[in-house]
Structure formats: structure tokens, C-alpha cells
């Protein structure tokens, strides 16, 4: 799936700090920075998912999932969600709203989709 240039630029700016096999999971500090950058660029956040990472496994944490599809510009809610996980060794994956790029209905673009961009 193609990601808008603006959404791809946000994720690409933080790729050096990413973890996981596909370099699409971010520590809490970087996740806060991504939320800030999305807000500055006017890019919506459709969702954030928390994961525990080990050397051999990626473990999704079902109690650390935020759905912002109803209000992708709820940046304060995204920050509050990240604060709830403070102190836990969580990594976060973002699904960004790239609907403004091509007009029409919003489309989800996962951080991992930028590999093809």
C-alpha cells in the first residue's frame, strides 16, 4: 500500500531509531516524537499498537492498543495512551492516515508500508 509522501517522511525520519525485523516498532520516547511530528504535519494517526520485543519474538499486547479511527487528529489522546505505558518495555507501531494524499476516503498506512516507498 502506498503511503502519502508526508506520512512516509514522518516515519522515515525516525527509522534509525526503529526496532523489530521490519524496523517498524519504536520505543516510547521516539513514539512521542512521532506523535509530535504528525501533529505538526497535520497527519492523522489511526492507531497505535504496543508490543514487547525479544531477540526471537514480537509479542503484541492486546491491552496496549489505541484506535483513533474515529478522530485521527486526537494527538492528546495518543500522548495519554503512550503515558499509560510508561515504565513498561513497550515498543509501538503506528498506523497513519494517508487519506489526504489522494482525496476521498481515508486509507490506513502502516509504518511498515514505507519499505515500498
pLDDT at 33: 97
Q: What is the pTM of this model?
A: 0.81
Cα-based distances in Å from 19 to 22, 23, 38, 42, 70? 7, 5, 20, 25, 28
Sign of the four-CA dihedral 38, 42, 43, 48: positive
CA gap 114, 14 in Å, rounded: 12
* Residues of the domain holding 105: 5-25+43-116
Nearest to 64 by CA among 76, 79, 81: 81
In a domain, residue 32? The reply is no
Quickly state the pLDDT bin for 18 (edges 50, 70, 90): very high
Q: Based on the structure, what is the number of domains in the chain?
A: 1
94 assigned to some structural domain: yes
Tens of pLDDT along 29-54? Answer: 999 999 999 999 999 999 999 999 99
Task: Specify if 37 maps to a domain.
Answer: no
The answer to whether position 31 is within a domain reads no
Amino acid at each position: 500500500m502506498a503511503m502519502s509522501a508526508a506520512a512516509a517522511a514522518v516515519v522515515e525520519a525516525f527509522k534509525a531509531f526503529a526496532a523489530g525485523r521490519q524496523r517498524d516498532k519504536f520505543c516510547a520516547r521516539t513514539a512521542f516524537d512521532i506523535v509530535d511530528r504528525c501533529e505538526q504535519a497535520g497527519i492523522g494517526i489511526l492507531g497505535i499498537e504496543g508490543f514487547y520485543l525479544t531477540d526471537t519474538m514480537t509479542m503484541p499486547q492486546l491491552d496496549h492498543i489505541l484506535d483513533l479511527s474515529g478522530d485521527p487528529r486526537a494527538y492528546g489522546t495518543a500522548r495519554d495512551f503512550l503515558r499509560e505505558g510508561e515504565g513498561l518495555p513497550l515498543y509501538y507501531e503506528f498506523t497513519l492516515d494517508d487519506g489526504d494524499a489522494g482525496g476521498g476516503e481515508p486509507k490506513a498506512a502502516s509504518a511498515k508500508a514505507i519499505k515500498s516507498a
